[in-house]
């Protein structure tokens, strides 16, 4: 074992199209919102040379604390251009100064540099040539726009 920090390699970019959230109101632990994922695209980098679409029907189940801290739990399916499927569960945290979070949660466009949006995606696939997704740890960085979420995932080496 080395004391050197792990190396990160950009492996995937996901551009998820999203619809207006359903606000379920106050629940245990905060305010629940469900953000439908209606489609989108993705592309791989480096050793992951894939591209394709996001299958409509996924959603991000968010729990929003009183200070705006958002716990995200998104689940969706990627379909490669050659028909392979990859299930994604992406859990993360998003927060920013109060005025920025208020604007972001209202659906306004804000500078992604003002928002902490990090995640830990987990992938499932039966495709033999994509098992590195199942057998590795990844970290993600996201940016939320009014109708789109852009996520970049790095493999931890």
The per-residue pLDDT for range 13-30, each reduced to its tens digit, is 999 999 999 999 999 989
Q: Which of 20-34, 86-100, 101-115 shows the lowest per-residue confidence on average (mean pLDDT)? A: 101-115
Do 132 and 48 touch, CB atoms closer than 8 A? yes
Q: Where are the chain's structural domains?
A: 8-156
Q: Which of 42, 89, 98 is nearest to 70 (CA)?
A: 98
What number does CATH give the domain 8-156? Answer: 2.40.160.20
Percent of the chain with pLDDT over 70: 100
Q: What's the whole-model pTM score?
A: 0.94
Where do runs of H (alpha helix) occur along 60-154? 98-105
């Amino acid at each position: 074992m080395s004391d050197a920090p792990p190396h990160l390699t950009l492996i995937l970019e996901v551009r998820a199209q999203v619809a207006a959230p359903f606000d379920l109101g106050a629940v245990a632990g905060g305010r629940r919102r469900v953000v439908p994922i209606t489609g989108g695209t993705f592309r791989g980098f480096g050793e992951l040379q894939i591209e394709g679409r996001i299958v409509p029907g996924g959603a991000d189940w968010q729990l929003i604390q009183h200070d705006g801290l958002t716990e995200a739990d998104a689940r969706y399916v990627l379909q490669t251009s050659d028909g392979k499927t990859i299930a994604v569960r992406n859990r993360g945290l998003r927060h920013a100064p109060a005025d920025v979070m208020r604007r972001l949660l209202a659906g306004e466009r804000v500078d992604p540099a003002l928002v902490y949006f990090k995640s830990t995606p987990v992938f499932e696939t039966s495709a033999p040539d994509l098992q590195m997704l199942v057998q590795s740890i990844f970290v993600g960085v996201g940016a939320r726009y009014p109708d789109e979420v852009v996520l970049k995932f790095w493999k931890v080496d």
